[in-house]
Structure 1
Amino acid sequence: MISIAICDDELQELERAHRFLTRYIQEHPQYEITIHSFSAPLELLSYVTEHGGFDILLLDIYMAGMLGTDAARELRQLDDSGEIIFITTSRDHAIEAFEVEAAQYLIKPYAEAKIFAALDRVMQRINKDRRAIVTLKTSEGMTRLAIRDVVFTETGRNNYQLVHTIQGKKMEVRMTATELFELLSQNKYFVRCGASINVNLKYIRQISRDTITFDTGEQLAYPYRAYQKLKEVFLRFQMSTEE
């Protein structure tokens, strides 16, 4: 089941997006999709706080009370890692869209073909991510783990690799950083950072010359010599979300 949320404070636009999604569902019966509509960002945030996040979010940017980009930041803080498609009247917030890892940035009035193409793109990514499951031997036993849930890994005590997940869990894995990267690199967002660190670009919030800050709030010190390469890779990742 794939859950989609639409949030727009203009009723006409909300209904229009819902119609497009309904037609998309009719043309793609292979997907099980549910749609939830919200007319205010706070309504959406309240729902996510109580019930959990969505797989895909269609967010207007200019809404009364809160910008859609600000709502997206709040969603990320609530551990909603869903694919965000911004739908707006202006390109002025493209940089903020990159900061919350938006999958698409559509300008109103958008054609049905545009939103269908955006949905195709994120559906393929979601399906691929959901298939990427690895079984790891940890210090506590065998664990099945979705690669997309891994935020970063680092070498810990006794050469164990410490795996940090978006759910806030940490697990010790008996393998080298290189061996672990070979497993994680099934997901294109993983990059090496020095000899002992693997990071998921999707969860990076900020990079400084010696520290990476993730959406989980965790901070990771990394080798200074890796800064330039990591910065370049991260910028390319951000730019790849723009059409």
Structure 2
Amino acid sequence: MKYGSRERGRMINIAICDDEPQEIERARSLLTRYIQEHPQYEITIHSYAAPLELLSYVAENGGFDALLLDVYMAGILGTEAARELRNLGDDCEIIFLTTSRDHAIDAFEVNAAQYLVKPYTESGIFSSLDKILHRINADRRHTITLKTSEGITRIAPRNVVFTETGRNNYQIIHTTQGKKLEVRMTASELFEMLSQNKLFVRCGASINLNLKYIRQISKDAITFDTGEHLAYPYRAYQKLKAEFLRFQMFPED
């Protein structure tokens, strides 16, 4: 596989969370070897010996680009920690590392990138990293520039949960970081910009949705991974349900 030159100023932060020191050391060693073999990526490694320590850091400072996360840890399962991360609006790429296949469904529910059973191989880790780092770099290239009420902002569509029409026909953009941005344009104009990400769909005349962050759809409201709830037109239910089911079956389409 050929790669381009490293893009300066585009640091990729990868965290390891495992309550066994030898497992942290093994994961760190493999990551270090991966970095040596892939100099086009500028990667920083962080490590945590407890999931609550990781969650506390993310809540205060924001998340990481990717996370190598053990499942069986004292205090809280890695899958539960991942669910808390999603509730915080963190959309990092998660690779679960575990001794059992029992939590694969839980991993799917939090949109994990990979689920590796210990003892995992170097090729397994490297293949997973290739996939997610390619996706991260592609997402970073796909940013849009918007004139918001606070000034000029660049944002990646992948970091938008949904948009809705607000006061004076401003569009309110809800992000994975919990921020709300106001832009003066129509919902259709905003959708045209966001739809470079194929996971965006229209819902009625005034709502744009990122299917990736929808947790549940009822006939009168949508619940997102961020914990937000949104009422929407009942007439849009059947079409939205079909789009969401298609995404669940073919998430990479």
- Give the alignment's TM-score, normalised by structure 1: 0.88
Residue 13 of structure 1 aligns with an amino acid whose one-letter code is: E
Aligned partner of 1:20 in structure 2 is: 30
Is residue 53 from structure 1 mapped to residue 63 from structure 2 by the alignment? yes
The offset of 1:162, in angstroms, is 2.0
Work out whether residues 161 and 177 of structure 1, in 8 Å CA contact, stay in contact via their aligned partners in 2. yes
Distance 1:16 1:153, change over 3 A: same
Work out whether residues 88 and 177 of structure 2, in 8 Å CA contact, stay in contact via their aligned partners in 1. no
> Residue 91 of structure 1: SS of its match in structure 2?
coil
Task: Tell me how far apart the structure 2 counterparts of residues 89 and 238 of structure 1 sit (CA, whole Å).
Answer: 26
Residue 89 of structure 2 aligns with an amino acid whose one-letter code is: D
Distance 1:165 1:49, change over 3 A: closer
Distance 1:230 1:17, change over 3 A: farther
1:119 to 83, 105, 129: 129
> Residue 4 of structure 1: SS of its match in structure 2?
strand
Work out whether residues 56 and 83 of structure 1, in 8 Å CA contact, stay in contact via their aligned partners in 2. yes
> What are the residue-to-residue correspondences of 1:123-134 with 2, within 5 Å?
123-134=133-144
Once the two structures are overlaid, the 10-residue window that deviates more, 42-51 or 100-109, is 42-51
The offset of 1:187, in angstroms, is 2.0
Is residue 220 from structure 1 mapped to residue 240 from structure 2 by the alignment? no
> Which blocks of at least 5 consecutive residues in structure 2 are unaligned?
1-10
What is the RMSD of the two structures over their aligned residues, measured on CA atoms? 2.3
Distance 1:12 1:201, change over 3 A: same
Aligned partner of 1:181 in structure 2 is: 191
> Which blocks of at least 5 consecutive residues in structure 1 are unaligned?
none
The offset of 1:144, in angstroms, is 2.8
Distance 1:51 1:137, change over 3 A: closer
1:72 to 82, 85, 100: 82
Is residue 98 from structure 1 mapped to residue 108 from structure 2 by the alignment? yes
> Residue 162 of structure 1: SS of its match in structure 2?
strand
Aligned partner of 1:166 in structure 2 is: 176
The offset of 1:180, in angstroms, is 1.1
Identity over aligned residues, as a percent? Answer: 78
Task: Tell me how far apart the structure 1 counterparts of residues 241 and 120 of structure 2 sit (CA, whole Å).
Answer: 33
Work out whether residues 173 and 182 of structure 2, in 8 Å CA contact, stay in contact via their aligned partners in 1. yes
Work out whether residues 89 and 178 of structure 2, in 8 Å CA contact, stay in contact via their aligned partners in 1. no
Is residue 10 from structure 1 mapped to residue 20 from structure 2 by the alignment? yes
Distance 1:103 1:226, change over 3 A: farther
